């Protein structure tokens, strides 16, 4: 008998183990939520990855961050942070300045336009969280957070 995930994936064979099923379920859920987030952000002309960078830079404050620091803080690693920052700079959401003594060091900061856009995105993201996460109780959410953290710790 197929479970919900097997039916959703149109998979006729059972999973080899509960570990495999849990892993596939985690990957599928992440993909579904990521697609839903991208769909929510698309009318605002921004991607989930760009939102992540703006959120990181807002948290960094006026000091800003270098490209490597931004890349390390991203939820999902991307291969070309420089190109991502180029696109955000073209839209006026971020600004970059070269260091004084070491011209190779470039500091990236969020601009007032980026902060304004991020404030609008905060409302969209809050609605997204309510829509997609509210099926669980707060206790279940805390349990999920702890379990996911446990999985990530084993990868560190």
Residue 62 sits in the same domain as residue 138: yes
Residue 95 sits in the same domain as residue 131: yes
The pLDDT assigned to 104 comes to 72
For 110, the domain range is 45-153
DSSP state, residue 14:
P
Would you say 74 and 55 are in contact if contact means Cβ atoms under 8 Å apart? no
Q: What is the pLDDT of residues 89-119, one digit of tens each?
A: 999 999 999 876 766 789 999 999 999 999 9
Residue 40 sits in the same domain as residue 50: no
pLDDT surpassing 80 at residue 3: no
The pLDDT assigned to 12 comes to 85
Residue 59 sits in the same domain as residue 131: yes
Residue 12 sits in the same domain as residue 37: yes
The pLDDT assigned to 156 comes to 67
The pLDDT assigned to 100 comes to 66
CA distance 127 to 143: 22
Residue 108 has phi, psi (to 5 degrees) of: -110, 130
Share of the chain above pLDDT 70, in %: 96
Mean of all residue pLDDT scores within the chain: 91
């Amino acid at each position: 008998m197929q479970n919900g995930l097997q039916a959703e994936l149109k998979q006729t064979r059972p999973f080899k183990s509960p570990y495999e099923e849990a892993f596939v379920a985690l990957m599928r859920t992440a993909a579904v939520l990521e697609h839903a987030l991208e769909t929510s952000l698309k009318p605002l002309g921004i991607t989930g990855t760009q939102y992540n960078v703006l959120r990181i830079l807002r948290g960094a404050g006026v000091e800003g961050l270098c490209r490597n620091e931004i890349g390390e803080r991203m939820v999902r690693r991307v291969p070309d942070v420089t190109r991502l920052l180029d696109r955000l700079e073209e839209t006026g959401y971020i600004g970059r300045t070269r260091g004084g003594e070491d011209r190779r060091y470039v500091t990236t900061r969020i601009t007032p336009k980026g902060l304004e856009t991020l404030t609008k995105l905060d409302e969209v993201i809050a609605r997204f969280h309510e829509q997609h996460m509210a099926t669980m109780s707060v206790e279940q959410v805390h349990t999920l957070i702890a379990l996911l953290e446990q999985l990530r710790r084993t990868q560190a």
